[in-house]
Structure 1
């Protein structure tokens, strides 16, 4: 035991934290694979895992005209529209462990397009 450490205090790396991982992606398969990999890594280390919690899918919709011709007042042409949609998937995973163990778990390679945010 160090002289600087008092009874009842722990080093920063040994303290148990509730750590929340937020994963965001536009691809459903890649975010599900990333969640599976993180949870399997945490279970190998015998950590308490809550999740993945599936948040509502955010749908961004955009409607544009296909061509500039075809106004409503003019007899020539018709109004034609393109509809685009982008879906954003979000997952939450809660881990109860020290920050050193979480660094090891989150260092696994993830698919491109999956963003991970770690908050303590």
Structure 2
């Protein structure tokens, strides 16, 4: 029988079995349960996923139509990458006014000119890794100022 071992020779002697009989049938059994419980498989390291940050994109422009177009482009790109988005939040328009005299010298009729510049702002909040945000903001039209702040 192939499972019979001679206990007389030290090379085949099992440390757990000490019987006076020279020929003993040895049955292979599982190791003790305590040894299995302490063993944990090492976790496979697939590389860390990029950490998502709270990112706020502030867009400002003097021209509303270009600003709205850029906002919709950024939101569409973010939705295509399955990111959590809040916005666009429309902030109150800043109106900058300068009133000056029309004439360069002090003579003549006292006529005044009033110049006005309106600055429109939009906020977009994202939860995304910084690399993804760089890809989203790559191509933006001229005339729109972009400010990116990372919270955490």
For the superposition of Structure 1 and Structure 2, which TM-score range results when normalised by the shorter chain? 0.7 to 0.9
Paired residues for 1:8-47 under 5 Å: 10=48, 14-47=50-83
- The equivalent residue for 1:51 is 87
Q: Distance in 2 between matches of 1:110 and 1:85?
A: 26
> TM (normalized to structure 2)?
0.64
Query: Which residue of 2 is the match for residue 115 of structure 1?
Result: 145
Match of 1:80 among 86, 95, 111: 111
CA drift of 1:69 comes to 4.7
Q: 2: CA distance between counterparts of 1:106 and 1:55? A: 20
Q: Does 1:103 align with 2:134?
A: yes
Give ranges in structure 1 of 5+ residues lacking alignment: 71-76
Structure 1 residue 112: deviation in Å? 1.1
SS of 1:96's equivalent in the other structure is strand
Higher relative contact order (CA 8 A, sep 6+): 1
Q: Distance in 2 between matches of 1:19 and 1:43?
A: 15
Distance 1:39 1:27 in 2: 19
CA root-mean-square deviation: 1.6
Number of paired residues?
Answer: 105
Corresponding residue for residue 74 of structure 1 = none
* Deviation string, structure 1 residues 35-68 (Cα, Å, up to 9, x no partner): 0100010011111110011111111101111113
Gapped runs of 5+ residues in structure 2?
1-44
Deviation readout 1:11-35 (Å, 9 max, x if unpaired):
5xx1111111011111111111110
1-side partners of 2:140 and 2:51: how far apart?
27
Q: CA deviation at 1:78?
A: 2.8
